[in-house]
Homo-oligomer: A and B are copies of this chain.
């Protein structure tokens, strides 16, 4: 039985608590024994209050300490932890494993997904990217990750950095393009919902077709007439610049193929 203590009370920490509780119903080999939150009341809707502590000295001994805290807080929290030679992992895509205090054994447990407070999400489809200093520790966090998700990857710190940048492109930047599309709709009294099926299909298509092969539209087929018409349509719109740069980028990539 692997005993886990979770430190943090934000979005990810809360999703993890739910996931650990669900996992425990199917797999008694991993158990969340305690959560640490500066304000206990932020977690009482999810966990028995006797399992929540807000005082470092009350933190119990466990096999694994998971820090689900902001990037800036990881080093400090790992230093505060009143144990040494325990296994401590952070959950950040952006930080190297070495940001953790060296008094404990280090690792990373990074669920690659975008968590929103008001959006439920099933952990079972979330890839968890794992890293550890020691082989035994890796095997332990792999067991924990598999109890939650089943989709696990060994990803070293330098790769995780690349992955985090790639995630910004496919998640944050993509969502911003959705926003620009929604704005163009709104300005023209068109319900944005008309575009939902196209958005779903675009996202679905790349699971079976490489994105470079799935590329369609006026840019890739060098349809200058349509591009001109679109640029004319956007001429007083701050989106014109982005339209031009993304069109250019698609055409530059097309040439490389």
Contacts and interface: CB of A to CB of B under 8 A. Distances in A.
Contact of A208 (B119, B125, B226): B119
Contacts of A176: 211, 215, 219, 246, 249-250, 253
A105 B133 CA distance: 73
A159 B253 CA distance: 31
B119 A179 contact: no
Interface string A200-232: 111111111111101111111001011001100
A216 B119 contact: no
Contacts of A72: 225
Contact of A172 (B179, B180, B217): B217
A239 B249 CA distance: 9
A207 B196 contact: yes
Interface string A161-192: 11111111111111111111110110111110
Q: How large is the interface on A (under 10, 10 to 19, 20 to 34, 35 or more residues)?
A: 35 or more
B209 A116 contact: yes
Contact of A169 (B170, B180, B190, B245): B180
Nearest to A205: B119
B190 A229 contact: no
A114 interface: yes
B202 A175 contact: yes
Copies in the complex: 2
A139 interface: no
Nearest to A160: B190
A129 interface: yes
Contact of A175 (B165, B188, B206, B230): B206
Nearest to A169: B181
A178 B175 CA distance: 12
A195 interface: yes
A48 B216 CA distance: 30
A56 interface: no
Contacts of A169: 177-178, 180-181, 184, 239, 243
A169 B181 CA distance: 6
Given A161-B229, A162-B233, 19 more contacts: A94-B226, A113-B198, A114-B198, A127-B194, A153-B194, A159-B190, A166-B184, A167-B195, A167-B198, A169-B178, A170-B195, A172-B250, A174-B202, A175-B216, A176-B249, A176-B250, A178-B211, A199-B203, A242-B245
